[in-house]
Amino acid sequence: MSEHDQNLPAESHGSSVVNLADGHVEGTGQLPARFENPGFPPHVHRHGDDDEAAARRSERQVAGLFGMSMLATVAFAVAYFAIDDNEVVSLPMIGETNALHVALGVSLGLSLLGIGLGAVHWAKTLMSDEEIVEERHVLRSDDEARQGALEVVDYGAETSQIKRRPLIKYSLGGALGLFAVPLGLQLVGSLGPLPHNDLSTTLWSTRIGQRDGKGGKKRRLMRDPEGTAIRLSDVTLGSVFHVLPEGINETKEPLNEKVKASVILVRLEESLIKSQRQRDWGVDGVVAYSKICTHVGCPVGLYEQQTHHLLCPCHQSTFDMTEDCKVIFGPAKRPLPQLKISVDTEGYLQADQGFAEPVGPSFWERG
């Protein structure tokens, strides 16, 4: 044995654990027959294990963190309604950014942080930290095992002291309960305003200068996108006009109005029109129909002049203009709604009223 080996601890030669900090170790040429059970390190008692005052102090700290979470959750809800969507705030190293996004992010982060820190502090200071060994067993549940599982749950509740610490129990319940508010608030609030009857009406149902549903001037049919009025004499056989209502660009949301109010204007030989109502709602064979396909809302894009069929290019729904735009092919289930038109004193085409039914695809509230 070398002089260096004589300086090694005696237990180094017979142990399976080699302390590398002790320098070189010469082995015996054989591995140990089995690894020794290292056992558990000695349990170190915490202040809260022996001192009730320390335990209560930890309880108040945990409750304080849960309380911080609750306040942050309430702040989230307040900010959601109180801060304008377009308000801007300047932050260091970031610059100008949306104030609502900052408020929601910070408050939601603090809410999560309070719950997380509270749970960690609770586990480290009050919950039992005794290490327990459970031997492997056959993976089979019987009545005894189920009863044992219930006992484990009861034991966990007991050792966590949640029954003895009502302040933690109620503050945790409040924090977790309120934390669901931001999730539900975003889900419901971000759906946007209720549509009310917006899906059932179009700009054609209103008049220019109308107040309280009375008075006003009927809207003329305007070329899209030129925005010029159309005379009855302009619409000859074979002509097709893409039409929008007069004054649409002065509305609050013109794009939304255009989606619903787009119309296609065509002149047919009156002898080909099979529906009396279709004749009555047109003028001298000139008829106007919604351009929004009743299948999924694509714009009807093709007009066949010989057969007088309108074709939607998305899914090939085909409408016969001589039969009140009846569906003759494709997945659409309803005909295109007709717009009732007339001629004003200056010879321009105008809308007498809105569509008799909602335009576009079906929806739940459709009557």
pLDDT of residue 6: 46
**Inter-CA distances, 214 with 24, 209, 313, 351, Å:** 102, 9, 40, 16
CA angle 250, 253, 258 (to 5 degrees): 85
Q: Each residue of 137-171: b (16+ CB within 10 Å) or e?
A: eeeeeeeeeeeeeeeeeeeeeeebbbeebeebbeb
pLDDT of residue 21: 64
CA angle 60, 62, 63 (to 5 degrees): 60
Distance CA 307, CA 301 (A): 15
Distance CA 214, CA 227 (A): 25
Distance, CA of 204 to chain centre = 33
Counts of helices then strands in the chain (DSSP H, E) = 9, 13
Question: What superfamily in CATH does domain 203-351 come from?
Answer: Rieske [2Fe-2S] iron-sulphur domain (2.102.10.10)
pLDDT of residue 235: 92
Spell out the domain ranges in the chain: 47-130+144-189, 203-351
pLDDT of residue 109: 96
Report the chain's C-alpha Rg in angstroms: 39
Low-confidence ranges of the chain (pLDDT < 50): 1-14, 367
pLDDT of residue 12: 42
Is the pTM above the cut of 0.75? no
pLDDT of residue 24: 60
φ, ψ for residue 60, nearest 5 deg: -65, -35
Q: How many CB atoms lie within 10 A of CB 115?
A: 22
